[in-house]
């Protein structure tokens, strides 16, 4: 019996109308877990990300700092309300339809995001997606260390983590695999799959998609 086809979805600016990591930092400022200067730093990092020039180590140290020393349960007390209040309204209903279409075909759905798994896993649960890849966060003695476990799920790191996941789930190659993303940062994985789909792409990804004849999908931002 053949395995179901695999559909991989990026999260930020693909399923969501916005960036979950960026929104999380601003939320932490709003609830006084970070000072207001963090918003300015956050703006600098998002610009670097959009240009495909993000220093991921530096950004992760910044993004995980509020969780250092906290247990998973304590972190969930921060993140679960964030998902309900901030992420829920960001979910693009047209992206949901893409997910549901694959589900109806019997495809396996994998959410693969560079955002850390502290945020990605609760969002995946809300989306009823069982298979999830996010940047893994290190815990020591059941407390967040503030470090991530390489590789990050950004760029070539996302490709590597997806390949590991595929091997563990008996997917031998990328034939029949679809990947939806908005970002030039996901180029390594887009280049490997059989069906690359650029969703509301950034300028660089849009240009490459047009050059290579990849499908470009423009979803209304509602």
Catalytic (active-site) positions: 10, 12
Give DSSP secondary structure letters for 16-36. BSS-HHHHHHHHHHHTTSS-T
Strands 143-148 and 215-217: unpaired
Closest CA to 158 of 182, 176, 181, 133: 133
H or E stretch at 160: helix 156-168
CB 26 within 8 A of CB 36: no
β-pairing verdict for 143-148 and 178-181: unpaired
How far CA 187 is from CA of 77, 87, 99, in Å, comes to 35, 25, 21
Does 173 sit behind a cis peptide bond, omega within 30 degrees of 0 on the bond before it? Answer: no
Q: Which residue's structure tokens are 């994985």?
A: 189
Strands (E), 62-189: 108-116, 131-135, 137-140, 143-148, 178-181
């Amino acid at each position: 019996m053949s395995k179901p086809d695999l559909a991989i979805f990026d999260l930020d600016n693909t399923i969501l109308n916005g960036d979950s990591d960026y929104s999380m930092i601003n939320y932490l400022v709003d609830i006084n877990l970070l000072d207001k200067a963090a918003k300015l730093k956050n703006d600098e990092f998002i610009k670097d990300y959009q240009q495909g020039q993000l220093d991921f180590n530096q950004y992760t140290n910044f993004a995980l700092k509020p969780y250092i020393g906290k247990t998973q349960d304590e972190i969930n007390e921060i993140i679960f309300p964030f998902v309900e209040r901030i992420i829920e309204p960001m979910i693009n209903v047209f992206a949901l339809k893409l997910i549901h279409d694959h589900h109806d075909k019997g495809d396996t759905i994998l959410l693969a995001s560079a955002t850390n798994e502290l945020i990605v896993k609760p969002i995946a649960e809300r989306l009823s997606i069982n298979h999830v890849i996010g940047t893994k966060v290190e815990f020591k003695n059941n407390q967040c260390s503030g470090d991530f476990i390489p590789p990050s799920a950004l760029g070539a790191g996302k490709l590597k983590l997806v390949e590991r996941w595929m091997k563990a789930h008996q997917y031998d190659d990328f034939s029949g695999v679809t990947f939806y993303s908005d970002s030039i940062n996901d180029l390594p994985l887009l280049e490997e799959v059989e069906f690359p789909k650029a969703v509301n792409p950034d300028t660089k990804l849009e240009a490459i998609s047009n050059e290579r004849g990849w499908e470009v999908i423009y979803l209304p931002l509602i």
